Structure 1
Amino acid sequence: MPAYPPECTVTAVIPARGGSKGIPGKNLARVAGVSLVGRAVSACLRARRVTRVVVSTDAEDIAAEARLHGAEVVLRPAELASDTASSESALLHALDAVEERHGEFTDVLLFVQATSPFLATEDIEGVVSAVLDGGADSAFTASPFHGFVWRGVRDGDTPALLYAQGVNHDSAERLRRQDRPEEFLETGAAYAMRARGFRDKGHRFFGNVAAVPVDPARTLEIDDPADLERARAVAPMIGTSAFPTIEDVDAVVLDFDGTQTDDRVWIDAEGRETVVVNRGDGMGISRLRKAGVPVLILSSETNPVVAARARKLGIPVIHGVQSKDVELRKWYETEGIAPERILYAGNDVNDLPCFELVGWPIAVADAHDIVREQARAVTTSCGGYGVVREIAAHLLGKAL
């Protein structure tokens, strides 16, 4: 297969309809404080080779949640959101809409299901790489499997009796695991495929199909309420750090660039800088203030936009400083706040000295690797995509 150029377009589509019957509002159900659709969006946004992330939905509340986490939205018609509508039909509709919207073709289509809450960014990058670099036409996440599979057969004369036939083994010869061929379970979490081939075939599996092994511990697909409860129970043990509650924290200190923004800066011809912030973060700060939690913005940036944002939110700000940890220490000593009861959220190495001072150092999802390693917990949201709102939801123990 021909190699893809470095600038190829990878479009991630997350179908998330609003009409789930098994779990009403399933795609907005929360695991570890973050909605299923939000978790899927964040995992895709962290993938280096994903060009854009799109949520296909028929529901305005899901659309709002998707936008909050940084995704584009394609609203699909009712006939493509019914119980009988196929995922492929939603994917084709979203692909058409996105290509028309951006005026460019998609090289690789990435299909991600929000109902797999523990899908990791490395899994996404694995299936994308299988197509971009490995010569596969389509690829899917697969869990290594070593079980013996049986097919149930019912006798017409005695329908209550279930007979069993071996599927992947000869029931008369039980081979050792190491003597059997490799087998995998399709996780249902992520699929990547050549967009042109998908259009031609109308199905996600065609040509050379690659299975990309993932950690079996993360293989969980939410179909019914029991699955959701199981996901919530095991979330603290599967790559989801435990966040503090309002009982653990007396103050919240927030970095600005890379935490409340996505770390990019727009500069006009006069040299003036502007940044983009998330309205959802304003909501989070408002709720924290109403709950009586002091909030401070602490930034090394001298840009007046930092002070302007603090004024808008009605909270104090310390900015344009060389040593953030020195200023942080002065602040909490003046305010009489115990440092072990401070939550500090940051994204870069200049936040590490502050991490060492406080009891709850929190890294954003796309923080520097060293910062993530030093954090007590890591958000699901990337910087600028609702980090503060997510933190507030964890602290207050409710959806915001």
Structure 2
Amino acid sequence: MPTVLAVIPARGGSKGVPGKNLAPVGGLPLVARAVRACREAALVTDVVVSTDDPAIADAARAAGAEVVLRPAAIAGDTATSEAAVLHAMDAHEERTGRRTDVVLLVQCTSPFITSEDVGGVAAAVVEDGADTAVTVAPFHGFVWRDAAEGIGAAAADATGGYGVNHDKAHRPRRQDRPQDLLETGAAYAMRAPGFREARHRFFGHTALVRTDPAKVLEIDEPDDLARARALAPLLDPAPAAEDTAGAPARPTRDDIDAVVLDFDGTQTDDTVLVDSEGRETVTVHRGDGLGIAALRDNGLPVLILSTETNPVVAARARKLKVPVLHGIDRKDLALKQWCEEQGIAPERVLYVGNDVNDLGCFGLVGWPTAVANAHDIVKDAARSVTATPGGSGAIREIASWILGPSLSRRELSQ
């Protein structure tokens, strides 16, 4: 069986999006998403992350990758991905004593890369005989270029914009045009000996591996990251309802460093009673209060985060002896800031929500959790879903996941 080494370059410096490779999308850092795709891909035998950053190295190891620390000479803004791959391949071969037959370059800046993408480029080389392979997606757009970018000012004034992949005087229908393919930037495969000789990724016969155009996104600017987080609940595969042992996916105390709770619809049944004076009242479940106390007593920070500015929320937080942030327009930004202030990694946070305004927070944390009566879109985006509806003891149920049945029963009975 050939040795197929996937190399993920992930340096610490990024001018466009600081800390980009650790930015969470769908609850996982970008580097961890890339590692997951590689580990699950057919034919890939080894996964290496090349980095100069200790935090990225820790995240890569936690995701199951080998780490090669990159020297400063190939870690700057002008360093090429090819240089990082060659260095990582040499280091991996020296460490393992095994020769690499096929090497992959996988970019963690493509957040929606799949194991099928990675396995597809590997198969094009290993099984189909190509020298190199690249992921591409169908592209039907007309590409334009400003003439001023390439010719003198006088000529540009006369020419203006011109078509790159078309004659602007002739606009054929899509079905009458040759099929253009867009390089996705996600995954590449190369025969290792040829790559060492050519020192670039497109030597010999290059196979084009088609991928889903809906998932083509490269994160180069902050707006790209925002789009990725908004799309993650729609494009990421639905979390498996059960693990390999047949039990529901549930976090334990080892998985969680903090619990953040929405209020309406999670600690209540989403019903509000309004009297003749306009005063609002809600009902809560005593078991939820006991569950929150048990979490707090076990050293887990608990925060209530709500868009509503309501004295009921503040009063409930005082009763539970937990901090509250309410009257928040952007819950995801408030949560991100709170995590930074507390020194808590978002991927170690369990967030409980029930409606679409919780999806932003779901995209930040490692354990997005929906209550049983949550909106269907929210349940689809969740990693875990309670069996209990909001307002009926769902938070107590979550406490029992985290603390364990025997411990939670003892503490909740006090």
Q: TM-score range by the shorter chain?
A: 0.5 to 0.7
Q: Is 1:236–1:242's contact at 8 Å kept on the other side of the alignment?
A: no
Whichever residue aligns with residue 70 of structure 1, its letter is: G
| In the alignment, structure 1 residue 73 sits paired with structure 2 residue 67 | yes
Structure 1 position 162, deviation (Å): 7.6
- Residue 117 of structure 1: which of 111, 122, 125 is its match? 111
| In the alignment, structure 1 residue 32 sits paired with structure 2 residue 42 | no
User: 1:160/1:58 Cα in 2 relative to 1: closer, same or farther (>3 Å)?
Assistant: farther
Give the TM-score taking structure 1 as reference length.
0.62
Structure 1 position 255, deviation (Å): 6.5
Deviations 1:208-249, CA, capped at 9 Å, x for gaps:
011111111000000010100011111111124489xxxxxx
Q: Is 2:145–2:164's contact at 8 Å kept on the other side of the alignment?
A: yes
Structure 1 position 160, deviation (Å): 7.9
SS of the residue corresponding to residue 104 of structure 2 reads: strand
| In the alignment, structure 1 residue 144 sits paired with structure 2 residue 138 | yes
Q: Is 2:26–2:236's contact at 8 Å kept on the other side of the alignment?
A: no
- Residue 87 of structure 2: which of 74, 82, 93 is its match? 93
Supply the distance in 1 between the matched residues of 2:91 and 2:222 (Cα, whole angstroms): 33
Deviations 1:231-285, CA, capped at 9 Å, x for gaps:
1111111124489xxxxxxxxx99696999xxxxxxxxxxxxxxxxxxx976315
- Residue 16 of structure 1: which of 10, 21, 24 is its match? 10
Hey, what does 1:350 align to over in structure 2? none
Hey, what does 1:57 align to over in structure 2? 51
Deviations 1:109-157, CA, capped at 9 Å, x for gaps:
1110000000011111111111112221111110101111222211424
Hey, what does 1:198 align to over in structure 2? 195
| In the alignment, structure 1 residue 179 sits paired with structure 2 residue 176 | yes
Q: Any residues of structure 2 matched to 1:1-400 within 5 Å, and which?
A: 7-154=1-148, 155-157=152-154, 163-241=160-238, 283-285=254-256, 287=258, 292=294, 359=372
Hey, what does 1:338 align to over in structure 2? none
Hey, what does 1:318 align to over in structure 2? none
User: 1:68/1:259 Cα in 2 relative to 1: closer, same or farther (>3 Å)?
Assistant: farther
Supply the distance in 2 between the matched residues of 1:87 and 1:116 (Cα, whole angstroms): 14
User: 1:186/1:256 Cα in 2 relative to 1: closer, same or farther (>3 Å)?
Assistant: closer
User: 1:160/1:57 Cα in 2 relative to 1: closer, same or farther (>3 Å)?
Assistant: farther
SS of the residue corresponding to residue 54 of structure 1 reads: strand
Supply the distance in 2 between the matched residues of 1:28 and 1:225 (Cα, whole angstroms): 13
Whichever residue aligns with residue 192 of structure 2, its letter is: A
Supply the distance in 2 between the matched residues of 1:41 and 1:136 (Cα, whole angstroms): 24
Supply the distance in 1 between the matched residues of 2:244 and 2:203 (Cα, whole angstroms): 46
Whichever residue aligns with residue 14 of structure 2, its letter is: S
Q: Is 1:149–1:167's contact at 8 Å kept on the other side of the alignment?
A: yes
Q: Is 2:195–2:201's contact at 8 Å kept on the other side of the alignment?
A: yes
CA-based RMSD of the aligned residues comes to 3.5
Supply the distance in 2 between the matched residues of 1:105 and 1:258 (Cα, whole angstroms): 39
User: 1:158/1:183 Cα in 2 relative to 1: closer, same or farther (>3 Å)?
Assistant: closer
Supply the distance in 1 between the matched residues of 2:257 and 2:185 (Cα, whole angstroms): 38
Give the TM-score taking structure 2 as reference length.
0.60
Q: Is 2:49–2:67's contact at 8 Å kept on the other side of the alignment?
A: yes
Whichever residue aligns with residue 227 of structure 2, its letter is: R
Runs of 4+ in 1 over 3 A off after TM superposition: 157-162, 240-243, 253-260, 280-283, 285-294, 375-380
Structure 1 position 197, deviation (Å): 0.7
Look at both structures and tell me which one has the larger radius of gyration over its CA atoms: 2
Q: Is 1:32–1:240's contact at 8 Å kept on the other side of the alignment?
A: no
Supply the distance in 1 between the matched residues of 2:247 and 2:180 (Cα, whole angstroms): 42
Structure 1 position 177, deviation (Å): 1.7
Q: Is 1:15–1:112's contact at 8 Å kept on the other side of the alignment?
A: yes
SS of the residue corresponding to residue 34 of structure 2 reads: helix
Deviations 1:179-217, CA, capped at 9 Å, x for gaps:
222211111000011111110100000100111111110
Structure 1 position 172, deviation (Å): 2.5
User: 1:242/1:259 Cα in 2 relative to 1: closer, same or farther (>3 Å)?
Assistant: closer
Percent of pairs with identical residues: 56
User: 1:121/1:285 Cα in 2 relative to 1: closer, same or farther (>3 Å)?
Assistant: same
User: 1:285/1:230 Cα in 2 relative to 1: closer, same or farther (>3 Å)?
Assistant: closer
Structure 1 position 176, deviation (Å): 2.0
Q: Is 1:57–1:73's contact at 8 Å kept on the other side of the alignment?
A: yes
Whichever residue aligns with residue 225 of structure 1, its letter is: P
Supply the distance in 2 between the matched residues of 1:256 and 1:168 (Cα, whole angstroms): 49
